[in-house]
Chain A
Amino acid sequence: MTISIAPPLSPQSGSTQSGSTQSGSTQSGSTQSGSAQSGSAQDGTAIAAQACNVVKIYGRGDTAVRALDGATLSIPAGQFTAVMGPSGSGKSTLMHALAGLDTIDGGQVLLGDTDLSRLGERQRTLLRRERVGFVFQSFNLVPTLTAAENIALPLTLAGRRPDQEWIDELVAILGLADRLRHRPTELSGGQQQRVAVARALAARPEIVFADEPTGNLDSRAGEALLSFLRRAARELGQTIVMVTHDPSAAAYADRVVFLADGRVVDELSAPAVPAILSRMASLDTSAPAYATKTATKTATKTAIDSALDSVMDEEK
């Protein structure tokens, strides 16, 4: 893993053999040719964040896993980007790296003009607070705070005065007006996620990261949330990156980026579900090594199994 900021490898030429790649060639030009050092893309759209040749390794020696293996990606400002890939493809790791939640072992991550790999823990925390918003799959809210307090959390942590007009607007759009004084336990799953979205947007961050935000929602609540994310990008110009494994969720995005083996291998603009499905299918078949790894990793145990294990094997 060379730590360089040289022009990235073309994902297509590097790692994909499947015939299905050509459909992405038209759009992928912007990512591949976008210079990692520059703050803007070729076509003049501002770049909110970019990853360049990012390497992330978990473990050491024989058990080391290259979760990211030269991932390169640009996130255009004001767009809703979905990141997809099979389990273990590194999509969550990439998001964590872009969001300053995790350090990287090689390459470069830029948020705007800030090189995240040069920042310390405290600086990254402050950066997250000021410039990044998050929506997680679950446990997005602090249980002791009301919905309103949760929305203002990043601002109050920073000691900043919330922009009440903006928050009122968010709350109105998200339909949370009558829920502001409630605690998270008194909200439905959909409401909780909408509060999380409001919080993510409250500080007008440069970029919002959403990690499977609809993973725990029923389809109606999920659709409502995704519609809002799309509106936020289109009408409010909010840059949004969403990690998902659900093609119908990804279809709400302006663009889908596909990851496999820790690299960006493909992308689609204005994606539709069938197209996404076919790309995903090709990724799965084209990566047999992952199929087995994924299989073992996803063989989730039932609650009883794991609890029994913990009793019998004792806790670590």
Chain B
Amino acid sequence: MWRLALRNALAHRARLALTLIAVILGVTFVTGSLVLTDTSQRLLDDQFRTATAGVDLTVRDAAAFDSAMGVEVERDPLPPTVVDQIRTVPGVATASPVVRGSGLLSTDKTAGGKAIVPSGSSLLASWEPAPVGAFTLRAGRPPAADDEIVIDAATAEGHHIALGDTITVQAERTAGLRVVGLAGFGGAAGLPGSTVGLVNLPTAQRLLGLGDGVTEVAVIAAEDIDPQQLQNRVAAALGTEYAVAASRDIAAASADAAKTQVAYLQLMLLALAAAALLVGAFLIANTFSIVITQRTREIAVLRAAGATGGQVLRSVLGEAFLVGITASIAGVGLGVATAAWLRSLAGAFGITLPDGGLIVAPRTVIIAFLVGIGVTIVSAIGPARRAATVAPVEAMRLSSASAATGGRARTVIGWIMTGLGAAGLTAVIAGPRSSVGLIAPVGAAAISVIVGLVLLGPAVTPTLARLIGRPLDAAGVPGRLARESAARAPRRTAATALALAIGLALISFMTVLATSIKASVASSYKEVISADYVIESARNEMLGGLSHHVHHHVSELAEVAVASRLRYGHWKDGEATRALTAVDPATLPEVASPRMVAGGLNALSGGGIVLAESVARQRHLAVGDSLPMTFSLTGTQRIPVVGLMLDRDAHALSTDYLISLDTFSENYREHVDASVFVKIANGVSDVAAKKAINGVLADYPTAQLRDQAAAVAGRTLMIDQVLGMVTALLMLTILIAALGITNTLALSIMERTREIGLLRAVGMTGGQMRWMIRGEAVLIAALAIVLGVGMGIAFAAGTVAALGSAIEAPLVLPVGRLLIIVTVAALAGLLAGLLPARRAARLDVLTAIAAS
């Protein structure tokens, strides 16, 4: 039977070709995602390991936690005495003070004075020769004088900076420095997505405003001592005020923190790959079931000749195995090739990944093969079982495509599941808005609807196809025939349409949900924030990244009545990491009008916290209770709850937890602002105010003055980026589904050869024939559009309702975008029908009539 499977697969290679492509695309996606994320993670590991390669121990100020949401916490600087103290510990070979911070580089005024804003960080650090320093000189010499700097070779090349040029460094203080050397990092010319500025220790301390403090001390152990033992010794000598850690561990922890974003990306890519594979599975199942229907006689003959049902089953599955393994081989190859492309796609949508050689882990190959072969075989099981039940006597019958609509049980279960899902969604949508997460029920309802429709498909497709296809009647007989042809093979039409519908449902779901959330963000911002302008950093940094000098200068302007700033911080809530916003209770009411449910904003100045209403309810907290919060700098503190705010209004301030700036500075070392809200003085024109503010901002290249619309756009940028990337990748499912339409029609034309011959004989022109087939393709697409976009909107409505007061989003239907989706899907259907239509029109009339 194996030989038969092989021969059949080869004989039907034309019929299986599109199936093969569908599996290949899915496997490619999986492989590409894994290769990309593996590579990114390995590169991050390498990067952090290189950074600490020559150092055994790192001494820093103690902190409750090292990083939150991928951002390393800021620590208090160490006094210079600590360095001397460490040097006295026996077993320490060298102890070098290191200063590190961030400093924006700008090209010299004579060269345009443009700020160099990388997608990642702008590192400013003290120069240390190897082995402590990880940077190696590629040209020039180390920075010796206070006005000298070494920058990374990549930045120098990218911005045409040469040795001897002057560049501006902007940190706590701003200075013009002369480039005396160019450095590389390991084998690379710089750090990915970053700029590097290296100056001597005093200059670094001066620019970063550290006085004589240092960021950390790098310790190298003597040759005869175990670093672990030395770690204990140094720790004992310094006491608990300072943290002593193996540099290797710090590198690993930093890499892990940096990898969290990659992990999210991996999850998203794999979920999208799963969607593509699911759509591909429909195509595979459809192809096998059509091929088997066409081979019924042949199978019956085999059965008559003595083959058992099991042998037939295995033969079909064997064929599926061959398709799966072929597709996996091709998919793995293509996937590796695609990984680089995926990286640039992620980059285009704002996710920067390190650049470097690709890593193909054995695990990736194994997963790709398991997925490719598994999906194909699982999809072929249904058709294979049907093949095994072919009775020998069917060899004697003239078999034709069965109009089977699926069993009664299948239909009944389908109705029940669709009904339950729809009822669940309706209940969530129509029900009271609750603050408790109803996301899980919505997900379950969505899956129930999809599974229900898959089961129900064959039973309802004829009616649906005739209904939706009614406009085709305008095209005369070819249109009618297209409609009837789709209705006649309900199982096939349903599977083909549902594959496309799932892709469309995902896209429209994402679109509607994103639009609704954006609308919610926009409306709550506009309701709560009354400031005329807001100043924010153009860099999309986790904590905002706006220099605190901006607030100082802007508030001194005569044109500005009030400038109130916001700071973001992270804290640990047990194991979980949460974000908070710090505000100035005195000036905030002048630029924003958040509605309180209990307590007042003023009470914040006493060192308390205001909670979003729903958070307080979940935690069973009321005004007067206290909330334990762990800060990196100060450890766990109990903060008294002094007020409750409407969720929606708190979200306009990007938070569930609100403290005062004073409380913030007690517990945080971070001193960058997230936003500065500006209210202009009475009698000052917009133009004058903008001019004055922009004059101040000229010295802060990343600071932007935004009006309300721009501020909202800044807040929804990430939603747009994720939506854009997901939509781009989901187009792959549309492509696979369109291939499915081509496949189904091509196979159905083979089956209908005589009918086509007859139609041509009695006078159907080639053109009419082409329109008939294209009409059927577009009808399948239309079915998918109705089901898919319908499902997408319904799921989005359910999700929006389930998010309830958390976002309090009204359901917003982006009509324009949905129309684009509909148009793209219809065009995909039309294109999918082109080849089969051409083929049908070119069938030789006589051969077609004579075909048996």
Contact = CB atoms under 8 A, between A and B. Distances in A.
Nearest to B392: A304
Interface string A198-224: 010000000000000000000000000
B488 A157 contact: no
A284 interface: no
A157 B485 CA distance: 17
Contacts of B838: none
Contacts of A158: 763
Interface in B702-746: none
Nearest to A122: B765
Contact of A307 (B12, B301, B478, B484): B301
B488 A143 contact: yes
B627 interface: no
Contact of B481 (A125, A136, A142, A159): A142
Contacts of B762: 128-129, 134, 153-154, 157, 199
Contacts of B754: 139
B774 interface: no
A154 B481 contact: no
B761 A128 contact: yes
B4 A125 contact: no
A125 B763 contact: yes
A96 B846 contact: yes
A156 B477 contact: yes
Interface stretch (A1-9, A81-89, A308-316): A308-316
A303 B395 contact: yes
Contacts of A308: 301, 305
A315 B766 contact: no
A101 interface: yes
B768 interface: yes
B235 interface: no
Interface in B467-496: 476-478, 480-481, 484-485, 487-488
B849 A136 contact: yes
A144 interface: yes
Contacts of A143: 488, 755
Interface in A125-146: 125-126, 128-130, 134, 136, 139-145
Contacts of B297: 303, 307
Nearest to A315: B11
Given A144-B484, A153-B477, A311-B298, A125 B766 contact: yes
A168 interface: no
B565 interface: no
A102 interface: yes
Residue among A96, A134, A154, A307 with the most chain B CB within 10 A?
A307
A134 B763 CA distance: 10
B541 to A, nearest CB: 63
A169 interface: no
Contacts of A141: 758
B301 A156 contact: no
B304 A156 contact: no
Interface in B3-22: 4, 7, 10-12
A301 B5 CA distance: 25
Given A122-B765, A154-B762, A314 B484 contact: no
Contacts of A140: 758
Residue among A125, A128, A136 with the most chain B CB within 10 A?
A125
Interface of A: 96, 101-102, 121-122, 125-126, 128-130, 134, 136, 139-145, 149, 153-154, 156-159, 199, 303-304, 307-308, 310-311, 314-315
Given A153-B477, A307-B301, 20 more contacts: A102-B846, A121-B766, A122-B765, A125-B760, A126-B765, A134-B761, A136-B849, A144-B487, A144-B488, A145-B484, A149-B480, A154-B763, A156-B477, A158-B763, A303-B301, A304-B301, A304-B395, A307-B298, A311-B301, A314-B10
Instruction: Return the 5 tightest CB-CB contacts between A and B, nearest first.
Output: A129-B763, A144-B484, A307-B301, A314-B11, A156-B477
Interface of B: 4, 7, 10-12, 297-298, 300-302, 304-305, 395-396, 476-478, 480-481, 484-485, 487-488, 754-755, 758-768, 845-846, 849
12 contacts: A102-B846, A122-B766, A122-B767, A125-B763, A128-B763, A139-B754, A142-B755, A156-B476, A159-B476, A303-B395, A303-B396, A307-B297
